[in-house]
Amino acid sequence: MGRPKITIIGSGNVGATTAHWAAVKELGNIVLMDVVEGMPQGKALDLMEAAPVAGFDCRLQGSNAWEDTAGSHAVVITAGVARRPGMSREDLVEINAGIVRDVARQVARYSPEAVIIVVTNPLDVMTYLTYKASGFPPERVVGMSGVLDSTRLRTFVALELDISFEDVTALVLGGHGDEMVPLLRYTYAGCIPVSQLIPPERLEEIARRTRYGGGEIVSLLKTGSAYYAPGAAVAEMLEAVLRDKKRILPVAAYLDGEYGERDVYAGVPAIIGRNGVEKVLEIQLTPEELEALRSSIRSVREALARISG
C-alpha cells in the first residue's frame, strides 16, 4: 500500500499551514486545492522544497482541478472567508454555506471513501452542511473544534502554572463559538486536577480567555484569523484517522441521542480512527455543564435554521 492521499481544500493560511504540519508528520502525499490559479501550486512547491532540509518524505501538489483530488483517503475543508475584526463566526454563515456545499458535493464525487474534516467557520454549522451535501455517513464527516479550543485552554493553564505544555490535558465541548464549554473539572496538569493548583477566579479568567481565544487573535492580526494552532489541530486529527490511532479527541461529531441531542453537530469527546468518529463518548456532566452544552448547541441550531433554505 502506498502513502495515504490527503486533499486540503483551500490553500490560504489555514490550509497551507495544515499541509505544513501534515508533511512534517509524514502523514501522506498532499494535494493543495484552490480556485486561485498558481497559489496552491506555489505553496505546494515551496513546502516540498523544504523536505530535504526538514527531513520528511511526501509529495505535495498544488491544483485547481478536482480530478487531481480523486481517491483521497482524507479531505480537509478550509475553503471560505476568514473572520475580520468585529465579525463573529456566525457572521460567516451565509457567505460560506454555498462554498462548503459545492465543495462537499465535489468531494463526494471524486473521493467517495474519504473521511472529511471540516475547518470552515462557523464550524459546527458547516460540518452539518457538509454531511448533508456529501451524502456521507455522519461518522465520516467531523469538525475540528474541540481540539483547537482545548489546546488553547491547555496553553493558558501551562502558562499560568509555568509547566510543560505537554503535561496539561483538557476538554472543551459545545459549539465552536463564544458559548463553547471549557470543562475545568476535566482539566488536569500532570494528572492533578487544576482546581487543586489554580484559584477558582483565575480558572474562570482562563476559561473566558479560551472562549474568546480566536477573537483575541483576530483582533491582534486585524487582517485574518488564527492558522498555526488550527493547522496543528487538524494534523492531529488527520494522524488519528490515517494511522487508525483511536485517539480520544474533542471534535464536532454528529449526535444521535447522545447528551439528549439529535441531528446536530457539536463538540463532544469521541474516539477517532480510520473510519472517522468511531464512537461518541458520553461523560458525566453536572446540571450546569449540561445546560451550558445544550445552550451552545441551541446556538448551532439557530444558525442552521437561518440557512435551511
Ordered alpha helix ranges (H), the chain: 13-24, 39-48, 51-54, 93-110, 123-134, 146-161, 200-211, 213-221, 228-242, 287-306
| 3-class DSSP assignment, residue 160 | helix
Query: What count of other Cβ atoms lies within 10 Å of the Cβ of residue 219?
Result: 13
**Under the phi-then-psi rule, with left for phi > 0, alpha for psi from -120 to 50, and beta for the rest, what region is 263?**
left
As beta bridge partners, residue 62 has 32
Backbone angles phi, psi at 299, to 5 degrees: -65, -40
Q: Indicate if the pLDDT at residue 89 is higher than 90.
A: no
- Look at the block and give the residue holding cell 505544513: 20
Mean pLDDT, to the nearest integer, of 21-29? 98
Reading the block at residue 294, the C-alpha cell is 445544550
**Mind telling me the catalytic residues?**
176
Average of per-residue pLDDT across 156-179? 95
**Which tens digits make up the pLDDT trace of 242-254?**
999 999 999 999 9
> Does 308 have pLDDT greater than 60?
no
For residue 309, is pLDDT > 70?
Answer: no
Give the mean model confidence (pLDDT) for residues 11-26. Answer: 97
Q: If pLDDT is split at 50, 70 and 90, which confidence band does 88 have?
A: low
What fold is seen in the domain 5-143?
Rossmann fold (3.40.50)
Which is more confidently placed, 211 or 84? 211
Domain 146-306 carries which CATH code? Answer: 3.90.110.10
Confidence at residue 135, expressed as pLDDT on a 0 to 100 scale: 98
Please tell me the pTM assigned to this model: 0.95
Phi, psi at residue 63, to the nearest 5°?
A: -155, 155
Question: Between residues 224 and 284, which one has the greater pLDDT?
Answer: 284
Tell me where in the chain the CATH 3.90.110.10 domain(s) lie: 146-306
Query: 251-266: buried (b, 16+ CB within 10 Å) or exposed (e) per residue?
Result: bbbbbeebbebeebbb
Confidence of residue 175 (pLDDT cuts 50, 70, 90): confident
Looking at the predicted structure, is the pLDDT value of residue 292 above 70? yes
Q: 267-306 in b/e burial notation, b at 16+ Cβ within 10 A?
A: bbbbbbbeebbbebeeeebeeebeebbbebbebbbebbee
Q: pLDDT tier at 1 (50, 70, 90 boundaries)? A: low
Q: How confident is the model at residue 233 (pLDDT cuts 50, 70, 90)?
A: very high
Q: Is the pLDDT at 90 greater than 70, yes or no?
A: no
Give CATH 3.40.50.720 domain extents, the chain. 5-143
